[in-house]
Amino acid sequence: MATYNRLPVTFDRGEGVWLWDTNGKRYLDALSGIAVCGLGHAHPAVRDALCEQAGRLIHTSNIYGVAEQERLGALLTEQAGMDRVFFANSGAEANEAAIKLARLHAHRRGIENPAILVAEHSFHGRTLATLSATGNRKVQAGFEPLVQGFVRVPYDDLDAIETAATNRPNIVAILIEPIQGEGGIRLPSDDYLVRLREICDRSGWLLMLDEIQTGMGRTGRLFAFQHAGIQPDVVTLAKGLGNGMPIGACLARGAAAEVFSPGSHGSTFGGNPLACRVGRAVLETLIDENLTENAAAQGAYLLDSLRAALGETHGLVEIRGRGLMVGIELDRPCGELVGRALDAGLLINVTAERVIRLLPPLIIDRAQIDELVATLTGLIHGFLGDA
């Protein structure tokens, strides 16, 4: 169905940060399939895990023990400092699990009409519950009635949360992105997550972080919450976890980890041997090849290089980001830059109309960043000059 406005290009193969289209033209991929292919394309560790597991066992059922699910679950919860994990097949499904978990937790404590705090400009997915949680009317329009039970506050506004806490005794959780991705690479104040943790502790709310875009090394730590030195009660992952293999995860800690019991939730495909074997290969490779550290170092270099090249440009509003999650905000809509970049052999994205979004693979090196910056800044200068 016509759910996407597709760009006029079809890719045939990839290797590392590079993609080749069906005409043999080469592109520098600075988007990674929207924060998915953190290890780049055709990484041997992913290929080997996938091929080996496909030849051994792809699927049985969650009514049996699943050894690969246990292995990935153990490694993931250890790395995240969480206790338990539910595996799903996508980000939206991981968030659905978190939303159901928060509601069940509330009902168990006698709260009949629980509400979850969510932010303006947020993005949590396209299923009915997750689009209702999303802070973007375009995602919701036409799909009413929306799922009830979400209270919206401005992002990075602690006073609004304090007010909601006073007025709404039925709030049971906060669901929020540590950095808003689709919303325009919006970074909150440095102490935002720490303060959210304090408010949640004081109010008996679950702190649920949507790390579907920020997780898996993207921001220069394995999980973005680690920059703040806090632990959430629930964290959701997907995108970078499978490097393209569909997998989502909802991790929980403490009381939140004990909410689901047999029959509360489930998934036929979720946590199958193939997806989990690939997820483990991705996580092990991130650790073994120090890719989180590379994301931090190359991300800092990317920000510096962009600022040096674009610093005084008229029409530039801000360059911001963390690790390899970078936004360049202009003072005007700039969607046409995506096509111009494509012509120039560079894959980028524009979100929130005016923000160029860069999410290159975590394996990117300095020379490739130099090329990315040279091509992109040329395009931006041209666009702002002739717009």
Ligand X SMILES: *Cc1c(COP(=O)(O)O)cnc(C)c1O
73 versus 246: smaller Cβ distance to ligand X: 246
210 is known to lie in a ligand binding site:
yes
Distances (CA, A) of 382 to 15, 262, 269, 341, 387: 30, 59, 47, 11, 8
Please count the other Cβ atoms lying within 10 Å of the Cβ belonging to residue 318.
12
Please tell me which residue in 210, 223, 225, 260 is annotated as part of the active site: 210
The answer to whether residue 138 is catalytic is: no
Reading the block at residue 259, the tokens are 């909410």
Choosing from 29, 87, 150, 239, the catalytic residue is 239
Consult the annotation and say whether 126 binds a ligand: yes
Residue 86's beta-bridge partner residues? 250
Question: What is the Cα–Cα distance from 149 to 116, expressed in whole angstroms?
Answer: 6
Query: What is the residue type of 285?
Result: T
CB of 387 to ligand X, least distance (A): 29
Binders of ligand X among 170-229, rule CB under 6 A?
A: 177, 181-182, 210, 212-213
State yes or no: 213 annotated in a binding site. yes
Cβ neighbours for 67, distance < 8 A, ≥ 6 positions apart: 273
Nearest to 382 by CA among 349, 350, 353, 339: 339
| Residue among 29, 86, 87, 123 flagged as catalytic | 123
Q: Give 195-199's long-range contacts (Cβ < 8 A, gap of 24+).
A: 195/158, 196/158, 196/161, 197/228, 197/230, 197/231, 197/232, 199/158, 199/161, 199/162, 199/165, 199/174
CB of 276 to ligand X, least distance (A): 17
Which residues in 255-314 contact ligand X (CB under 6 A)?
A: none
Residue 277 marked as a ligand binder: no
123 among annotated binding-site residues: yes
| Residue 83 is among the residues annotated as catalytic for this protein | no
Q: According to the annotation, is 247 in a ligand binding site? A: no
CB-wise, 34 or 111, nearer to ligand X?
A: 34
| Closest alpha carbon to 257 in 386, 82, 53 | 82
Max Cα distance, the chain (Å): 62
Catalytic annotation on 150? no
Interaction mask 89-128, ligand X, x per CB under 6 A? -xxx--x---------------------------xxx---
Nearer to ligand X, 177 or 329 (CB): 177
CB of 212 to ligand X, least distance (A): 4
Closest approach of Cβ 385 to ligand X, in Å?
A: 32
92 in a known ligand binding site: yes
Any idea what the Cα angle at residue 103 is, between residues 235 and 90, rounded to 5°?
A: 40
C-beta closer to ligand X: residue 181 or 299: 181
Site for ligand X in 162-181 (CB under 6 A): 177, 181
Q: Counting Cβ atoms within 10 Å, is residue 18 exposed (0-12), middle (13-18) or buried (19+)?
A: middle
Closer residue to ligand X in complex, CB, 216/337: 216
Angle formed at CA 226 by CA 224 and CA 228, multiple of 5 degrees: 95
Count the site residues for ligand X by CB under 6 A. Answer: 15
Q: What angle do CA 210, 366, 321 make, to 5 degrees?
A: 30
Q: How far apart are CA 309 and CA 238, in angstroms?
A: 34
Q: Shortest gap between Cβ of 127 and ligand X (angstroms)?
A: 8
Strands 316-322 and 325-330, by their bridges, are antiparallel
211 in a labelled binding site: yes
Q: Does 86 bind ligand X (CB under 6 A)?
A: no
Site for ligand X in 238-257 (CB under 6 A): 238-239
Binding residues for N(2)-acetyl-L-ornithine: 126, 267
User: Which residue ranges make up the site for ligand X (CB under 6 A)?
Assistant: 90-92, 95, 123-125, 177, 181-182, 210, 212-213, 238-239
Binding residues for pyridoxal 5'-phosphate: 91-92, 123, 210-213, 268
Catalytic residue list: 123, 210, 239
